[in-house]
Amino acid sequence: MEIDLLREYNPWWHGPHSVIPDKFLILRDLYHSIAPVALNLEDRRAVSIAGPRQVGKTTLIKQLLQTAIDDGHPSDRVVYLTHDDFGPHFDSLRRLLDLVFSQTNLSSDSGPKAIIAIDEIQRFENWDTDLKSFIDREKAKFIITGSAALPLTRQASDSLLGRLDEYHLLGLNFKEFLAIRQAGAVRAIEPASIAVEKYFRIGGFPEHSANIDEGIAARRIRRDVIEKALGQDLLGAAEIRKGDSLTRFFTFLVRNAGSILNKEKLANEAGINRKQVDRWLQLLRDADLIYSVNNFAIDGQPKPRGKPKIYPSDPGISAAFSFGATPPPYGQLAECAVLRHLINQLSLMMPGVPEEIGYWRKGESREVDFVGTFSGQQCVFEVTTSRKSSVLKKKLETLEFFRKKELASKAFLISSKGGIDFKADVQGIFTLSFQEFFQLCCTGNLTEVGQ
């Protein structure tokens, strides 16, 4: 029975079958970074892909397996396993892998190493020590995924030290979002402004990126976050017993995204103490559900006691938890999407280096939404969805202030209009539409603007 289950999930062992049959699936940007490492059989280190639920981790690992077969790797030495279907039949990962090796020819030295992908590995008890023993046998290259980053880092840090390369898959960036919409149900070419607004309101979850009702998308995203990411992944991984408190905690953060964090108010809202606030914030960061944007000193370093701003990791989460609000929080959604793309730009420039984006605040009247260092140049960013001349002028004056003080190499105003005519006393201030900015972050280099 168990071997039959293995064969059912690996039909390419016995004939021509595609690992991933959907013709409309795009290759994510992260695929191109992971593939050379994940399919390098000379490197024994396992590859882990962490990230929120429903961002495409399963699709990504199946694409990697398909690439291996297409490139000539023996199909009977390519294995896909998932806890959802194998977990109920096996009490441990070790027992499952023992069956895989004993009932197939993977133990044989006559062929190349096996490539074994294990989906949602963190649900197996003691998975890290079991995986370590199989990595050390050097009979297979392992690719693993988990919906919460916490179990893939903290729990496994000792057992898998030197044996694991970790990557994070987030929601679709705008370029990927457009590619799926154009390949799927959305046949007509949308005006740029409509596509940007759709991205703000639906976000980067691939399942919802084609032509789905926004209300349905919002309900599904809230369910996946509350019931599964918070209710299953984090409650189980971190042994949190207050499920309702964690939901209130997260909801408060999302609905106040972009505001300076008031930890006392947050603690009161969730019914927890200040020490738990710091712990739960770290849990949500580890699970790739939120970003912390720290208050940077003028020298670019985080202030020791500076209060952070919190943003959800995808504009779709922000939209889902504010669905039906009047008026819709477009400014919040725009800031969330811009931050997502600034992190995308940093990850392209410095793969594997922790991203650090902050904000500047000088007094009560001078503040920029984001500041970061790109190719050695400190850049500042202001974001607005307003088309009012008075608002745009004020934003530009703020950027001009920081440029005059030579505190930033370049300054950007990102808005719905882009290309705004204005007279500045200093060089290095640029106005971009959201679409122009997103495209630069996905395919270019922000620091090359104006060169």
Q: How far apart are CA 228 and CA 242, in angstroms?
A: 15
What is the DSSP annotation of 193-244? Answer: HHHHHHHHHH-S-GGGTTT--HHHHHHHHHHIIIIIIIIIIIHHHHT---HH
Structural domain includes residue 193:
no
Position 194 in a domain: no
Shared domain for 28 and 122, answered yes or no, is: yes
Quote the CA–CA distance of 336 and 238 in Å, as a whole number.
26
Measured distance CA(69)–CA(73) in Å, rounded: 5
pLDDT score for 291: 92
Same-domain check for residues 8 and 119:
yes
Asked whether residue 65 is domain-assigned, the answer is yes
Find the range with the poorest average confidence among 77-91, 96-110, 253-267, 338-352.
338-352
Residues 362/380, Cβ–Cβ less than 8 Å: no
Same domain for 153 and 49?
yes
Does 365 share its domain with 441? yes
Between strands 140-146 and 46-50, the pairing is: parallel
pLDDT beyond 80 at 147:
no
Residue 191 neighbours by CB under 8 Å, 6+ apart:
none
User: Are 343 and 322 part of one and the same domain?
Assistant: no
In this structure, is residue 181 part of a structural domain?
Answer: no
CATH of residue 280: 1.10.10.10
- 3-state per-residue secondary structure call for 38-104: HCCCCCCCEEEEECCCCCCHHHHHHHHHHHHHHCCCCHHHEEEEEHHHHHHHCCCHHHHHHHHHHHC
What domain count does the chain have? Answer: 3
Which pLDDT value is given to residue 17?
A: 77
The answer on 15 and 122 residing in a single domain is yes
What pLDDT digit, counting tens, does each position of 87-119 carry? 888 889 999 999 888 877 777 677 788 999 999
* 133 & 108 share domain: yes
pLDDT band per the 50, 70, 90 thresholds, residue 228: confident
pTM of the full predicted structure? 0.88
Same domain, 29 and 75: yes
pLDDT band of residue 354 (cuts 50, 70, 90) is: very low
Q: Nearest CA to 162 among 248, 43, 313, 60?
A: 43
pLDDT at 422 (0 to 100) = 54
| pLDDT tens by residue, 37-84 | 999 999 999 999 988 888 999 999 999 999 999 999 999 899 999 988
In the block, tokens 């890290």 appear at 128
CA atoms within 13 A on the CB side of 265: 7
Please identify, among 141, 168, 195, the residue that sits at the C-terminal boundary of a domain: 168
Q: Is pLDDT at 352 greater than 50 in this prediction?
A: no
Domain assignment present for residue 192? The answer is: no
Q: Do 343 and 324 fall within a single domain?
A: no
Query: Does residue 375 belong to any structural domain of this protein?
Result: yes
Listed range (378-382, 389-393, 400-404) with the worst mean pLDDT: 400-404
The amino acid present at 222, given as its one-letter code, is: R
Q: Per residue in 161-175, pLDDT tens?
A: 788 888 889 999 999
Range from 27-31, 62-66, 236-240 carrying the lowest mean pLDDT: 236-240
Residues 125 and 28 in one domain: yes
Q: Per the domain annotation, does 175 fall within a domain?
A: no
Residue 443 lies in a domain: yes
Shared domain for 151 and 33, answered yes or no, is yes
Domain hosting 285: range is: 213-294+303-328
Residues 217 and 78 in one domain: no
pLDDT greater than 80 at residue 293: yes
Domain endpoint, select from 112, 144, 168 = 168
Rg of the chain in Å (alpha carbons): 23
